[in-house]
Amino acid sequence: MNAPGQPYFFFDFISPFSYLLLEQHEKWPDMPFEFVPVQLMKLLDRWGQPHATTIPSKRVFTYRHALFRAEQFGIPFKMPPVHPFDPSKALRLACLADGDILKIRDIFRFIWREGRDPGTPEGFRALCEHVGMPEAETRINDEDVKAKLHANNDPAVALGVFGVPTFVVNDQIFWGEDTLPMVLYVARSLNWLDAAEVKRISNLPMAPRDADFT
């Protein structure tokens, strides 16, 4: 991972917006994206960000927004019975799938289309059957699988990834389900990132830390 110029798609199954973005895959730019499962909670901890569900009003808005976006695009959507759920087993399952987009999509659909919880023993067993990988129920406990998932967060942080879903195109990050139009534009207009105003706002100074913002 982290080869210069390699396009990436960073995701976590805990994110409904990762699901919604993958469901629009036919609109993505024609690039060899590497699908990289990461642990969103660890990314947030790394950058000192609270998860949306820790703020009651933001939690409600986030769920409503996800449903609204799904309805806008005509994407089937059903919240799992609890959220946040434990996505670790599903993420390790994605590592075993080794970037297979169909398997990854099926995992997302199990959670966000069928409204299932992959974090319970029964739910994960059903998920493994759903994606045609029944052996994964035990294989996800292999140390090399755990290490692979754990190692994915380091290059993500090195690239500046702070949330999911995130595209990396031309070594630049594009965060959020609604960023797809921007990704498509940049993919077709590579010199846009070199425009004077884009460069200026990308390097704006910050006010001093002791500035009075009251």
**How many domains, in total, are found in the chain?**
1
Taking only Cα atoms into account, the Rg of the chain, rounded to an integer number of angstroms, comes to 18
Q: What is the predicted pLDDT for the residue at 75?
A: 98
What is the rounded average pLDDT of the residues 93-117? 97
Let me know if residue 212 belongs to a domain: no
Let me know if residue 18 belongs to a domain: yes
Instruction: Evaluate if residue 106 carries a pLDDT over 90.
Output: yes
pLDDT tens-place string over residues 160-173:
999 999 999 989 99
Let me know if residue 207 belongs to a domain: no
pLDDT tens-place string over residues 3-24:
778 999 999 999 999 999 999 9
Quote the percentage of the chain above a pLDDT of 70: 97
Name the 3-class secondary structure at 207.
Answer: coil
Q: What is the predicted pLDDT for the residue at 206?
A: 87
How far is 128 from 148, CA to CA, in rounded Å? 19
- Count Cα atoms within 13 angstroms, Cβ side, for 93: 34
For residue 54, the one-letter residue type is T
What is the rounded average pLDDT of the residues 75-81? 98
Q: Tokens 């990704």, residue?
A: 183
Let me know if residue 88 belongs to a domain: yes
Instruction: Evaluate if residue 190 carries a pLDDT over 90.
Output: no
The answer to whether the beta carbons of residues 166 and 175 sit under 8 Å apart is: yes
Spacing of C-alpha 96 from chain mean position: 17
Higher pLDDT pick, 99 / 197: 197
Q: What is the predicted pLDDT for the residue at 213?
A: 59
The answer to whether the beta carbons of residues 179 and 167 sit under 8 Å apart is: yes
pLDDT tens-place string over residues 132-151:
999 999 999 999 999 999 99
Mean pLDDT of the residues in the chain: 94
Q: What's the whole-model pTM score?
A: 0.93
Which tokens hold the place of 95? 């590592």
Q: What is the predicted pLDDT for the residue at 167?
A: 98
Let me know if residue 49 belongs to a domain: yes
Which tokens hold the place of 121? 């023993």
Which tokens hold the place of 31? 């690039």
Domain hosting 182: range is: 8-202
**CATH code for the domain in which residue 136 is found:** 3.40.30.10
pLDDT tens-place string over residues 33-67:
999 999 999 999 999 998 888 999 999 999 999 99
